[in-house]
Amino acid sequence: MERGAAEGTNAEIYRAGRVAVHAHPFDIVAWDIVAWDIVAWDIVAWDIVAWAIVHRAVPVVPPPSFTLALVRMRPVVPQAVRARWWLVWLVALLGAGLPVGRAGAECLRQEPGWLWNYEGTLGAAGRARMTLVIDGERVTGVYALAGSATDVVLTGRLTAGRTLRLEGRDPAGQVTARITGTFPTRDPSGRLGESPLTCDVMAGTWESLATHTRVPVQFNLQDGTAGSLAHRYAALGVTDDAIINRTALRCWLALRDGDRQTLADLVAYPLSVVVGGRRLRLRTRTQFLARYGAMITPSLRAAVLASVPRHLFVRDQGAMLGAGEIWIGATGRIVAINP
């Protein structure tokens, strides 16, 4: 092939390769090297094999960027070269020692500005909600028990995208507990079926350093929001997270204890709510209490009490208590109830 023709072909490959998304750990060689020559793609492919053998894991199908590039570059890459790339993928599967049909899964995240919220059970202590910030191997976070007004601050490390070790500190900064666990590729409880998992479930043990008590724990991912541990509710325009947390706890306790008066005090009036298929506008505490039984149904109460009233999911219109049954606004008042 003449030099001019070769350079033209490489330019076409380069432009096609640039459309691929860099969204997979197998994209270990930048697409910009395509300008070398078609032979460079063989180097990329064999680098994939090396990665697979070292990490003992490889997807059952090529990563999106790899596949997309092959499709878009079909007119400019000889068929023999494309065939070699697919053959390399089969070699990578064998090198990783994985049966065909199974994908390796790791919790690989580098998101210092994102909060991942989990819920689970800490043995006899009951329900807990945990928030993790995963920034590569560095992990920070907090957890709190249902009905508690205090947090346990977490710091630790995530090894190889799988093994998690965290230390829990009380408000005085003393280490009081340890959490050791893994992000399994399948849900140990079976509730998520056979779906392959990455960061969806954390299973392991919680240990009290004071009593040396150990209990099994499993936290399931509930939701995620942008923000920081110091200002979780910034999306709502709140600078003091305690405003939301106090209302969430008071609301949860009022529902638990059947305290209608306290719940009525927490509402921002007027409150628009749908009851029996009709939208009502409740302007006063008296109107709220008159409709209390129709709004605060047994299913609503059960859903909220099954949640942990702390570290809530948040968006610009409110912080969510339960699974969306109650929303709290920026002033710390209830702005929506969804029976």
What is the tens place of the pLDDT at every residue in 59-118? 444 444 444 444 444 444 456 655 665 565 555 555 544 443 334 468 989 999 999 999
Residues 217 and 165 in one domain: yes
Is 175 in contact with 168 (CB distance < 8 Å)? yes
Residue 294 predicted with pLDDT over 60: yes
Residues 122 and 212 in one domain: yes
Query: What pLDDT score was predicted for residue 86?
Result: 55
In single-letter form, the type of residue at position 145 comes to L
Residue 30 predicted with pLDDT over 90: no
- The 8-class DSSP code of residue 301 comes to H
Whichever domain contains 256, its CATH number is: 3.10.450
SS3 201: strand
Among residues 207, 226, 245, the one where a domain terminates is: 226
Residues 139 and 173 in one domain: yes
Kindly state whether residue 107 falls inside one of the protein's structural domains.
no
Cα separation of 40 and 263, whole Å?
67
Residue 197 predicted with pLDDT over 80: yes
Residue 17 predicted with pLDDT over 80: no
Kindly state whether residue 51 falls inside one of the protein's structural domains.
yes
Kindly state whether residue 104 falls inside one of the protein's structural domains.
no
Instruction: List beta partners, residue 92.
Output: none
Sheet holding 318-321, edge to edge: 313-315, 318-321, 326-328, 334-337
Residues 275 and 216 in one domain: no
Structurally, how many domains does the chain consist of?
A: 3
Whichever domain contains 192, its CATH number is: 2.40.128.120
Residues 119 and 190 in one domain: yes
Residue 322 predicted with pLDDT over 80: yes
Length of the chain, in residues: 339
Residues 169 and 129 in one domain: yes
Pinpoint the alpha helices (H) of the chain: 3-17, 39-55, 64-72, 79-96, 242-257, 260-265, 285-290, 292-295, 298-305
Residues 181 and 283 in one domain: no
Among residues 37, 63, 96, the one where a domain terminates is: 96
SS3 158: strand
Query: What pLDDT score was predicted for residue 188?
Result: 86
CB-based burial label for 309 (10 Å; 0-12, 13-18, 19+):
buried
Q: Count CB-CB contacts under 10 A for residue 193.
A: 7
Is 60 in contact with 101 (CB distance < 8 Å)? yes
Q: Is the pTM of this model over 0.75?
A: no
Residues 257 and 286 in one domain: yes
CB-based burial label for 191 (10 Å; 0-12, 13-18, 19+):
exposed
pLDDT tens-digit map of 123-182? 777 899 999 999 999 999 999 999 888 899 999 999 999 999 999 999 899 999 999 999
Q: Tell me the two tokens of residue 73.
A: 């570059």
| Percent of the chain whose predicted confidence (pLDDT) is above 70 | 69
Cα separation of 156 and 141, whole Å?
9
- Residue 170: give the domain boundaries: 114-226
Residues 123 and 221 in one domain: yes
Kindly state whether residue 102 falls inside one of the protein's structural domains.
no
Kindly state whether residue 297 falls inside one of the protein's structural domains.
yes
Residues 167 and 137 in one domain: yes
Look at residues 140, 138, 134, 131 and name the one whose alpha carbon lies nearest to residue 109: 134
Q: Tell me the two tokens of residue 84.
A: 């070699």
- Spacing of C-alpha 241 from chain mean position: 21
Kindly state whether residue 301 falls inside one of the protein's structural domains.
yes
Among residues 199, 226, 253, the one where a domain terminates is: 226
Residues 87 and 170 in one domain: no
Kindly state whether residue 317 falls inside one of the protein's structural domains.
yes
Residue 302 predicted with pLDDT over 90: yes
Kindly state whether residue 105 falls inside one of the protein's structural domains.
no
Residues 238 and 271 in one domain: yes
Query: What pLDDT score was predicted for residue 94?
Result: 57
Q: Tell me the two tokens of residue 243.
A: 């405003």
Average pLDDT on 24-34 reads 39
Is 182 in contact with 204 (CB distance < 8 Å)? yes
